[in-house]
C-alpha cells in the first residue's frame, strides 16, 4: 500500500484551478453533454454548488476553497483586518449553499485558519498563501481517494456483485472517488466483478453519473431502479455494498444520498456487508450522532418532474429530503485513507 500509487482516469474532472481560473464540469448536463464552465464570481460558485453543477462531499469542499479565492480576488486592496473579515463573511456565505456535507465547512474552516495564522501579512500575501492551501486541499484529496481505493480493493473478490447508491466516484471528488475507488483498484488488479448502480431518484446521480463514469472507464456496470436492490439481493446477485457519505457523525452514523438507509436495511436483512467509504474530512467530531446531522431539503420540482417534463400533478404536496442517515449498527466498516476503521475514530 503506498500513497504513491495512483490511478488516473481518462475522464473530465469535477473541479480544476489553472492559472488562477476556476472551472467546474457542469454535472447537470451529463450524460448528454460534457460542458466545462468557468466560475467568475463567488455568487456563480455558490449557485453551482447549490444547483449541483459541482456535487459530492469532497468535490464541494474543494470547490468551496477555490470559491473563496474567486470571491477574495477583488478585495486585495483592503487592509489585512478587513480582508480577513471579508474572508469570514464569504466562508459563511459559501457554506450556506449546502448544509449536509461537512467537507464544505471543513475546507472553508481550514482556509480561514490558514489566513488567520498569517494575519500580520498584507492582503495579497495572505491571498497567495490561501491559493497554496486550496491547491493542497485538492492534492490531498487525490491522495486520499487513491488510498481509499487501495485499502478497500481487497473487499471485492472475483465474480462478486457490488451495489452502490448515488455517485461517490470520480465526479464527486478530486478524482477517482470514494465508494468507487476500491472498484477502480480491483479492476486495475485484473479482478472481474459486476457493479450495480442504483439510479438514485430524484436527480438520478446513479443513472446519469455513476453508470456514465464507470462505463467510460471500462468497468462492468449495470443500472437498476431504486426499487430493485431487494430483488437482486434475493437472487444472490449482490455480495457487497459500498456507498459514500456526506457526513459521518462521531458515533459512526453516516448521512448519504436519500435511499442509502433503505439499502443498508436490505443488506442487513440479506447479511451482505455494507461499507461506507470516505476521507477523514467527512468524519465530523463536532456532530455527536446522526440526529444532529442537518438534512438538506430540496426543491419540490425535483420530484414532480425531470428535464422540464412534469411526471406528477403540479400542485401535489412533495417531501424532498436530499439525504438520510444510516445508523452505525448497519455499517460494517469505514474505508478511509488510514485503512478500514470503526468508531471511535
Ligand atoms: O446531492 P449530491 O449529488 O451531492 O449527493 C452526493 C452523495 O450523496 C455522495 O454519495 C456523497 O457526497 C459522497 S461523494 C464521495
Q: Which residues line ligand 1 (CB under 6 A)?
A: 52, 55-58, 101, 166, 168, 172-173, 178, 205, 244-246, 256-257, 322
Bond prior to 215 in cis (omega within 30° of 0) = no
Cα-to-centroid distance, 91 and ligand 1 (Å): 21
Q: What is the pLDDT of residue 4?
A: 84
Asked if the domains 15-147 and 155-341 are classified in one and the same CATH topology, the answer is no
Q: What is the pLDDT of residue 314?
A: 87
The yes-or-no verdict on residue 75 having pLDDT over 90 is: yes
**How far is CA 184 from each of CA 124, 209, 293, 334, rounded to the nearest angstrom?**
41, 15, 30, 18
- The catalytically annotated residue of 246, 253, 284, 324 is 246
Nearest atom within ligand 1 for CA of residue 205: 3
Percent of the chain with pLDDT over 70: 99
Residue 317: CB atoms within 10 Å: 6
Cα-to-centroid distance, 258 and ligand 1 (Å): 10
CATH superfamily of 155-341: Translation initiation factor eif-2b; domain 2 (3.40.50.10470)
Arithmetic mean of pLDDT, 110-115: 98
110: confidence class by pLDDT, cuts 50, 70, 90 = very high
Q: Give tens-digit pLDDT for 241-289.
A: 999 999 999 999 999 999 999 999 999 999 999 999 999 999 999 999 9
User: Please, what is the angle between helix 102-117 and helix 123-152, to 10°?
Assistant: 140
Domain 15-147: which topology?
1.20.120
Cα-to-centroid distance, 183 and ligand 1 (Å): 17
Q: Residue 46 corresponds to which cell in the numbers above?
A: 455558490
Domain residue spans in the chain? Answer: 15-147, 155-341
Task: Choose one of 24, 30, 55, 200 to mutate for the ligand 1 pocket test, by most ligand atoms within 8 angstroms of C-beta.
Answer: 55
Arithmetic mean of pLDDT, 223-228: 98
The yes-or-no verdict on residue 36 having pLDDT over 90 is: yes
The yes-or-no verdict on residue 21 having pLDDT over 70 is: yes
The yes-or-no verdict on residue 2 having pLDDT over 60 is: no
Q: Residue 274 corresponds to which cell in the numbers above?
A: 455494507
Arithmetic mean of pLDDT, 222-229: 98
How far, in Å, CA of 58 to CA of 132, rounded?
A: 18
Percent of the chain with pLDDT over 90: 98
Average pLDDT, the chain: 97
What one-character DSSP code corresponds to residue 330? Answer: G
The yes-or-no verdict on residue 32 having pLDDT over 80 is: yes
Nearest atom within ligand 1 for CA of residue 57: 12
Q: Give tens-digit pLDDT for 145-195.
A: 999 999 999 999 999 999 999 999 999 999 999 999 999 999 999 999 999
Cα-to-centroid distance, 333 and ligand 1 (Å): 18
How far, in Å, CA of 317 to CA of 225, rounded?
A: 23
3: confidence class by pLDDT, cuts 50, 70, 90 = low
Q: What is the pLDDT of residue 1?
A: 53
| 10 counts as catalytic | no
Arithmetic mean of pLDDT, 118-144: 97
Q: Give tens-digit pLDDT for 287-339.
A: 999 999 999 999 999 999 998 999 999 899 999 999 999 999 999 999 999 99
- Classify 72 as helix, strand or coil: helix
Nearest atom within ligand 1 for CA of residue 282: 13
pTM: 0.97
Amino acid at each position: 500500500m503506498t500513497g504513491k500509487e495512483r490511478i488516473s482516469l481518462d475522464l473530465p474532472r469535477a473541479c480544476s484551478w489553472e492559472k488562477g481560473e476556476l472551472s467546474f464540469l457542469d454535472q447537470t448536463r451529463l450524460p448528454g453533454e460534457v460542458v466545462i464552465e468557468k466560475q467568475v464570481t463567488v455568487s456563480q460558485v455558490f449557485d453551482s454548488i447549490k444547483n449541483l453543477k459541482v456535487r459530492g462531499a469532497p468535490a464541494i469542499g474543494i470547490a468551496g476553497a477555490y470559491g473563496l479565492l474567486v470571491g477574495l480576488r477583488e478585495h486585495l486592496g483592503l487592509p489585512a483586518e478587513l480582508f480577513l473579515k471579508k474572508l469570514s463573511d464569504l466562508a459563511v456565505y459559501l457554506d450556506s449553499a449546502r448544509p449536509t456535507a461537512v467537507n464544505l465547512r471543513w475546507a472553508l474552516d481550514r482556509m480561514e485558519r490558514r489566513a488567520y495564522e498569517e494575519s500580520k501579512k498584507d492582503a495579497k500575501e495572505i491571498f497567495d498563501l490561501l491559493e497554496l492551501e486550496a491547491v493542497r486541499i485538492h492534492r490531498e484529496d487525490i491522495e486520499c481517494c487513491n488510498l481509499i481505493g487501495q485499502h478497500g480493493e481487497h473487499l471485492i473478490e472475483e465474480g462478486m456483485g457490488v451495489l452502490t447508491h448515488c455517485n461517490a466516484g470520480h465526479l464527486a471528488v478530486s478524482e477517482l472517488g470514494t465508494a468507487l475507488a476500491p472498484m477502480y483498484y480491483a479492476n486495475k488488479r485484473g479482478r472481474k466483478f459486476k457493479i450495480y448502480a442504483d439510479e438514485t431518484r430524484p436527480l438520478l446521480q446513479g443513472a446519469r453519473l455513476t453508470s456514465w463514469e464507470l462505463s467510460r472507464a471500462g468497468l462492468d456496470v449495470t443500472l437498476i431502479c431504486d426499487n430493485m436492490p431487494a430483488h437482486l439481493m434475493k437472487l444472490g446477485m449482490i455480495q457487497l455494498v459500498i456507498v459514500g457519505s456526506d457526513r459521518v457523525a462521531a458515533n459512526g452514523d453516516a448521512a448519504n444520498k436519500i435511499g442509502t438507509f433503505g439499502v443498508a436495511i436490505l443488506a442487513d436483512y440479506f447479511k451482505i456487508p455494507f461499507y461506507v467509504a470516505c476521507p477523514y474530512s467527512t468524519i465530523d467530531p463536532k456532530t455527536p450522532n446522526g440526529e444532529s446531522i442537518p438534512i438538506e431539503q430540496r426543491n419540490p420540482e425535483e420530484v414532480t418532474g425531470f428535464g422540464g417534463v412534469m411526471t406528477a400533478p403540479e400542485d401535489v404536496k412533495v417531501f424532498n429530503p436530499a439525504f438520510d442517515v444510516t445508523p452505525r449498527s448497519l455499517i460494517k466498516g469505514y474505508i478511509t485513507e488510514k485503512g478500514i476503521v470503526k468508531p471511535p475514530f
